[in-house]
Chains A and B, each alone.
Chain A
């Protein structure tokens, strides 16, 4: 199973919005609504930010939102804050009892 494709980097100024894409195939992202997004700060464990494409766990700010169109999922961070600077990973159920992660995107707040 190949890793999902994400841009290596993304950036935005405080207060702006940034969108990170996650492209898979019709066998994973395109076929299931089990797409999640994780935030990982350096030296820390990943934190779930979005699950089932667009749902936010309790405690995650509503500045974080998710969507999907075809084989591509997206994470949008609105009203960027300094603490949003981190690595972001998407994941998807890939059928045949497999999960696949994206390669990760480094978000920089300028």
Chain B
């Protein structure tokens, strides 16, 4: 069974940094692209970033480009999202998901990031 467990969320002030983690199990992590999707409170889903299985390619939504960095450690079956220069509009539940052909097919339960002074 595919399991994805996110961690690292919390309350943080505008302009500060935070790193999210996602630990995967139940599948061969190194075979899959991975993605981060966020959902602001009471709002819809927003794709944030994706990374190829071998880290060779990384993609970002315009809203986070230049501030967020996605990376992975296949040896640890872990995905990360380094978030810098955080803004109030980054407040959301951040989901880690396995991706197949631009389709997030298995999702974690999410980790909440709140950016507030």
Contact = CB atoms under 8 A, between A and B. Distances in A.
Interface residues of B, number: 23
Interface in B2-53: 35, 37, 44-47, 50
A3 interface: yes
A89 B44 contact: yes
Interface string A34-48: 101010000001111
Given A97-B59, A99-B50, A46 B101 contact: no
A38 B45 contact: yes
Most A CB contacts (10 A, CB to CB) among B100, B102, B110 go to B102
A57 B105 contact: yes
B88 interface: no
Contact of A101 (B46, B62, B108, B109): B46
Given A45-B110, A98-B61, A3 B44 contact: yes
Name the interface size band of chain A.
20 to 34
Interface string B86-117: 00000000010000111111111110000000
Contacts of B104: 36, 46, 48, 91
A98 B61 CA distance: 7
B45 A46 contact: yes
A64 interface: no
A24 interface: no
B108 A45 contact: yes
Interface of A: 1, 3, 34, 36, 38, 45-48, 51-52, 57, 89, 91, 93, 97-104
20 contacts: A3-B44, A34-B101, A34-B102, A36-B104, A38-B45, A45-B95, A45-B110, A46-B104, A48-B106, A52-B101, A89-B45, A91-B45, A91-B104, A93-B101, A97-B57, A98-B47, A99-B102, A101-B44, A101-B45, A103-B44
